[in-house]
Every structure is written in structure tokens, then in C-alpha cells.
Structure 1
Amino acid sequence: MNNQLLQSRIKGCLFGVAVGDALGGTTEFMSAREIQARYGHLEDIIGGGVWRLAPGEVTDDTAMTVCVAEGILENPAEPMEKIGRLFLEWYNTRPKDIGNIIRHVFERYEGDWFETAFVADLELGQSGGNGSLMRCLPVALAYADLGEMERVTTMQSRMTHYDPRCDEACRIYNRIAHRLLGGEELRAAIQSEVAGTMYEDSIKAEPDCEPSGFVVHTFLWVVHILSNAANFSEVVQRAANLGGDSDTIGAISGGLAGIYYGYEGIPAKYTEAILIKDRLSQIASRLFALQTSS
């Protein structure tokens, strides 16, 4: 793959996450019926919603994705300490939206991420949320080596989510991203990685579950949307109009769609609306440099 196309895919990935997040943030926690009654079919980034977002404002999905990306860029060999510091700096800004599992871990962190995540899992009774899946794509953008990519993918998940289902979803997701960065077709890449897993049937059949924050439910919907949408806009609009955890499903599906369709495949009305677009562009350039230097 030529460098120009790879750069477009890396930039498209980060913007895809942000666009899916900003669009879906308007409809988070609503039902599909409520969305239909209020917006018809939501197509534009308008803000509002439960978090009273400004148009183009992103939520925790993109914010934590940025933390993972910038932490890796600070220390690609062993990024956990840097990622964790950026997580806590972000948390101390009192963000509007933060998941319960992640909040629980951050409140109890005393120096060991894995131990804190383990204790949080015990205290909460589970930690199978989608919060580590929503932020893990920068790992696939940073590491050309598949083994190293999988190692860091799992590490960043276990920092907050002590649940093997989260580890598995993150690894499958980033292996799909790895294939897309290598030039594979979207549906073929998905099929290759979900074959034989609980996610395989959702390629064709609509998931028989709510679009909830449970990592399995989230990833079932992501696989279904990506396998059945015709272009980037359809991907993020389908996610936004589901309701439920629509910002996160939009961010996760939008990230892979952004890789596949490239930055130029995302309508300008979306990319120009994102309030942190300059920061995302800068991170994309740095990740491209890291990917191509390895």
C-alpha cells in the first residue's frame, strides 16, 4: 500500500471514531422509536442529547481514544504508564460522560492498573462493558507487527476491564483493523476474524439484543452494521438511529469504516464539524510516522 493511502486510512480511522461518537451522542439512551419521533432519521451532527453536547463535541469514546493514541506516541515500547497518566488527567477535567466501570477503576487506582481492574470487577460483579473496545483502535494504527499489536491491545483493555470477553472483542476488532490497513475488503476482513465466534451470525442477521453497553451486545451490532452498510455515512447513521449506547456503537463502527473508506470517504460536513479536528489530524500524522518507521 502506498503511503498516501495509508495516511488517509489512519486519519479516516480517528475521524471515523469522532464522527460516530458526535453523531450518536445526540441519541444516546433514547429508543429507536423516540429517535424516529423526534428526529425522523438523524443524519447531521447537531449536538444536544442527554449530555447537552455542542454540535461537533465528542464524548468519552473519542477522548479516551486520544489518550491511548497519545500515550503510545509518548512511549511505543511500553505505553501503559503514559496511557494511564493521560486517562487520569482526562478524568480530572470532570468529563460529561464516563462509563461506570471506568469511573470505578479511576476512583480506586493506587498504582497498579491490573490489580485495580480486578478489584473493580469483584466489587461491581462484572466488568464486561464496552469501554476498552471503544478506545483501542490507535493500537492497530501504531503497530505494524501483529503480535505486538495484540499484546498492547490486550494490555490497554485490562487496565480497566477485567473480563476476557473485553479482551477478545478488542483483539478481534483490532485484527480487523490490521487487515483493513493492509488493503483487505471490509466484509471479508470481518468474516475472517469473527468466523467461529459468537459474532459470526450477526454478519447477516440483525442481533437479537438491545444496543447496550455490554461489550458482546455492542460488538454484535458493530459487526452487523459494518457488514450491511454501503458507505461511511450509512454506517454512522445506522448506529446513531439505533439509540441505546449509540455514541459508542457509532464510534466503534465509525473507526473501522473510516479506515476502509479513508478520510476522503467521510463527508466533509462530518469532518469539518468535529471540534477537535486539528488535534485528530496532528495525532494521525504522528501515528503514520510511527507505523511507517517500524
Structure 2
Amino acid sequence: MSDKGKSLADRIKGGLYGVAVGDALGGTTEFMSAKEIRRKYGYLTDIIGGGVWDLEPGEVTDDTMMTLCVAEGILDYPDDPMASIGERFLAWYRSDPKDIGNIIRRAFTRYDGHWFEAAFLADQDLGRSAGNGSLMRCLPVALAYADPDRVNRMSRMQSKMTHYDERCNEACGLYNRIALRLLNGEELRPAMAAETQGTPYASALAEAPDCEPTGFVVDTLRWAFYCLQQGDGFADVVQRAANLGGDSDTIGAIAGGLAGVYYGYAGIPTAFAGAILIKDRLDAVAVRLTALRQAASDDS
């Protein structure tokens, strides 16, 4: 089915809600194995909360909250948003969130006025920084800007604030290039195929990844692409992600973001969208991002 007729506003709102729904649904099964999920839930289809973080039904985790930090930071200062994004990151961190990744936590503790240096030091401290924490939050860049070069530059910038590993920066750029194609009305599977050709992610469009659904950025994105490729509609995409277990909230958020852009807010079941506890904030950001993106399109 072609989704070319969806409005920009519907796609942007769908992207934001897609992240939140995938996050809230997958939060129930995070760190579980697929076998444990089958034993406890059969096949999880509804947003019920619980899980390792003892979530309220419809409560989101760091995936959505950091996505909103990026979005609101861009809206504060579209021409140069890094400082504002960083301020919002730190304000969220000081709120003592339930869930925060080790790489991001270390970058925040290492921050002393220079984000790229903090990311480098976190990488040195941990001996790694190829997690999925910058990928999970990067979608607002594609929602905000129309110019592909700017989207690529900003995608990498927000990633490098906490993740030094180049694989993270590349993944954010790739993901948002696909998002741009979807915002411009392209079909989902051809858009993924075009951008993943010649990358480690191309095989995920043909068969299930030969890796666990871990927080390693390459594993995460491969599974997200697989769920998107195999899914039949928005709900099926995020349900597939949730039933993987492992880092299911982040895989759900990443897959859900692109699915939301493609199918639009109208394509997200009301039971899912209505369950999210921070709907007012998502709605407000969606309206403002649509206005900014429309202005960017008019200027280009």
C-alpha cells in the first residue's frame, strides 16, 4: 500500500509517537529472552508496563525522553542546537531517570563544558562507546530539517555528543537518510534498500540477523530494519520488536520511529497512541517541529 498521500504533520507526529509506542511496548520485555517472553506473555501485543523498570502502562524510558531533548533543543536554536540539546540532556539526567545507558551516564559525568571531549573520555574510560544510545534519539533531526546535508551533519553532531565510536555516527546518518526519504513520500522497503546497500545492514532486509538483539548499535539497527522489513503495518512492526527481548525498548523505539513516519500518526492504533502518558508533550513538539520543517522546506 502506498502512503504517499500522508501529510507532513501526520508523518512527523507519527514519528514521535512511533518512538514512544515502541519504547513503552518494548520496555516490558527489555532484558528478557524470547523464550522467557513466550513463557510469561505468550506474544506481547499490548502496552502493559511492568518489566525490569516497573513501568506504568504507557510510561516511556530514556529512548523517548532523550528524543524529546534532541527535538526541543533543536526547536530552541535550530541553527546551532548543540548547547541547548546538552542542557536538556543534563536537566533530564538530574531528574534521576529510571533508565539511562552506561555510555551516556559516563559521558554526562565526564562533561565539563565540551561535549565531544566528554564522549571521547567516556570511550576511553569504558573501552567502548558503540552503543545504541545516540541512534535511539536521532529522529528529530530528520523531522526538523529538509536539507540532506544538514540532516547528516546534525545527525552526526548529536551522536558525537555522547558516543565517540564512528559506527554510532554513521548509523544515525543512515537512519535519518531513510527518514528523509519517507518524509518525502517514498515507500518504506525501497527506501531502506537504497540506503543500506553496501552496508552491514543490507542482509537484515533478506533474513533474520545472525546476532542477538543487543545494545551494540550494529545489532540494534539490524534488528530494527528486520522488524520494519517483515512487519505488516505499524502495530506488527513494534510488536515484533517487543517480542525479541534483549534491548527491546530501544529496538522498538528505533523501528517504531521509522514506522511512524511511514504509516503516519493515523496508522498507529488508537489504543497504542492513547496509552502514552506524555501525549501533551509529544503533541506540542510535533506541532512545533512541523512548523519548523515546513519553513525549512519553503526556504530550500
Same fold (TM > 0.5) = yes
Measure the CA separation in 1 of the matches of 2:213 and 2:5: 36
Paired position in structure 2 for 1:65:
67
1:119: Cα distance to partner? 1.0
1:132-184 superposed Cα distances (whole Å, 9 cap, x missing partner): 00000000000001111111100000000001100111000000000000000
Paired position in structure 2 for 1:130:
132
Measure the CA separation in 1 of the matches of 2:225 and 2:248: 14
1:228: Cα distance to partner? 1.1
Paired position in structure 1 for 2:179:
177
Measure the CA separation in 1 of the matches of 2:93 and 2:239: 29
Q: Show structure 1 runs of 5+ residues with no match.
A: none
The AA in structure 2 aligned to 1:23 is: L
1:256 aligns with 2:245: no
1:176-209 superposed Cα distances (whole Å, 9 cap, x missing partner): 0000000000000000000001111110110000
1:282: Cα distance to partner? 0.7
Contact 2:5 2:185 in 1 (8 A): no
| 3-state SS of paired residue (1:264) | helix
Paired position in structure 2 for 1:231:
233
Measure the CA separation in 1 of the matches of 2:4 and 2:252: 28
Contact 2:136 2:253 in 1 (8 A): yes
Measure the CA separation in 2 of the matches of 1:57 and 1:287: 23
Residues 257, 129 of structure 1: CA spacing in aligned structure 2 closer, same or farther, 3 A cutoff? same
1:223: Cα distance to partner? 1.1
Paired position in structure 2 for 1:293:
295
1:4: Cα distance to partner? 6.5
1:144 aligns with 2:146: yes
Paired position in structure 2 for 1:241:
243
Counting only pairs closer than 5 Å after superposition, residues 65-144 of structure 1 correspond to structure 2 as 65-144=67-146
The AA in structure 2 aligned to 1:222 is: A
1:123: Cα distance to partner? 1.1
**Identity value in percent:** 65
Q: 1:153 aligns with which of 139, 149, 155?
A: 155
Paired position in structure 1 for 2:13:
11
Paired position in structure 2 for 1:197:
199
Which shows bigger deviation, 1-10 or 39-48? 1-10
Measure the CA separation in 1 of the matches of 2:151 and 2:141: 6
Q: Which consecutive aligned stretches of 4+ in structure 1 deviate over 2 angstroms post-superposition?
A: 1-4
Paired position in structure 2 for 1:41:
43
1:187 aligns with 2:189: yes
Residues 103, 5 of structure 1: CA spacing in aligned structure 2 closer, same or farther, 3 A cutoff? same
| 3-state SS of paired residue (1:272) | helix
The AA in structure 1 aligned to 2:231 is: A
Measure the CA separation in 1 of the matches of 2:72 and 2:181: 23
The AA in structure 2 aligned to 1:122 is: Q
1:3: Cα distance to partner? 9.7
1:278: Cα distance to partner? 1.1
Please, what TM-score do these two structures have when normalized by structure 2?
0.97
Measure the CA separation in 2 of the matches of 1:2 and 1:211: 31
Provide the aligned C-alpha RMSD in A: 1.1
1:194-243 superposed Cα distances (whole Å, 9 cap, x missing partner): 00011111101100000000000001101111111111000000000000
Which shows bigger deviation, 64-73 or 197-206? 197-206
Contact 2:6 2:264 in 1 (8 A): no
Measure the CA separation in 1 of the matches of 2:174 and 2:16: 18
Q: Show structure 2 runs of 5+ residues with no match.
A: none
Measure the CA separation in 2 of the matches of 1:283 and 1:100: 27
Measure the CA separation in 2 of the matches of 1:75 and 1:6: 21
1:104: Cα distance to partner? 0.3
1:2: Cα distance to partner? 9.3
Q: 1:164 aligns with which of 163, 166, 169?
A: 166
The AA in structure 2 aligned to 1:291 is: R
Paired position in structure 1 for 2:58:
56
Q: Number of residues paired by the alignment?
A: 294
Measure the CA separation in 1 of the matches of 2:46 and 2:193: 30
